[in-house]
Structure 1
Amino acid sequence: MKLTAALWKKLPKGHIFKGKHRLVKPVTGLDIAAKLRDFEREEQNMFYLRHPYLTKEESYCHSKEQGRFEKWIRKWKLIQADKFSQHKPMSDHLMHLRSSDGWESY
């Protein structure tokens, strides 16, 4: 009992990660190094965003020169034509409603 009480003395009262009496993890050199790497990575990303490979004019027209939009429109029109060009009678669309019919018609 006394051993358990001695071990529980090290823990704070109440929730161990909230409030006035809480456990605070000490900051180590590894934590500082990890945070510095994060800052360096973020700075590198901001550099790439500030200095893009293409200028605004180049980025506006480069996909138009390659004809990507026109290719996409042609492909989309073919898909739509295939989807809606097949004419089916109404009996094919309503076939699922005939599931309760008997074998003989009256």
Structure 2
Amino acid sequence: MRVTDVLWKKLPRGHIFRGKNRLVKPVTGLDIAAKIRDFEQEEQNMFYLRYPYLTKEESFKHSKEQGRFEKWMRKWKVMQAEKFAKHKPMADHLMHLRSSDGWESY
């Protein structure tokens, strides 16, 4: 019993990661280096967002000049045509109702 009391004294009472008495992981040099890398990457992203490659006017017109919308619209119409069934006459839809008819009609 005394051995377990000694071992349990190292842990805080209650939940070990919340509250007043919690375990706090010590900060290491690797943690600091990782955080610095994250800040540098974020700064690089902000730089690209502040100074884009194209101006607003160029970015508005460049896809139109390449014909991207027209290509996408043609592709979309083909996909829609494939998605929906071809038109069939009503006789084809109601063919299952004629199952009791004989081969010859009188």
Tell me if both proteins adopt one fold, taking TM over 0.5 as the criterion.
yes
Q: Aligned partners of 1:48 and 1:11: how far apart in 2?
A: 47
CA distance change for structure 1 residues 60 and 10 in 2, over 3 Å: closer, same or farther? same
Quick one: which amino acid aligns to residue 74 of structure 1? R
- Displacement of 1:69: 1.0
Q: Which amino acid aligns with 1:23?
A: L
Structure 2: tracts of 5 or more residues without a match = 102-106
Alignment partner, residue 20 of structure 2: 20
Q: Give 1:72 shift.
A: 2.1
> How many pairs does the alignment contain?
100
Q: Matches of 1:63 and 1:88 in 2, distance apart?
A: 39
SS of 1:13's equivalent? coil
- In 2, Cα distance between equivalents of 1:17 and 1:82: 56
Match of 1:105 among 78, 86, 100: 100
Q: Secondary structure at the match of 1:71?
A: helix
Q: Which residue in the other structure is 1:54 paired with?
A: 54
- When the two chains are superposed, the root-mean-square deviation of aligned CA atoms in Å is 2.7
TM-score by length of 2: 0.77
Cα distance, 1:82 vs structure 2? 5.8
State the identity %: 77
Q: Deviations over 1:20-75 (max 9, x none)?
A: 11111111111111111000000000001111111111101000101111222233
Separation in structure 2 between the aligned mates of residue 72 and residue 56 of structure 1, nearest angstrom: 22
Query: d(CA) in 2 for partners of 1:21 and 1:85?
Result: 66
Alignment-mate amino acid for residue 54 of structure 2:
L
Secondary structure at 1:47 match in 2: helix
TM-score norm. by structure 1 comes to 0.77
C-alpha displacement at 1:92, in angstroms?
Answer: 3.9
Q: Could you say which residue in structure 1 is the equivalent of 2:73? A: 73
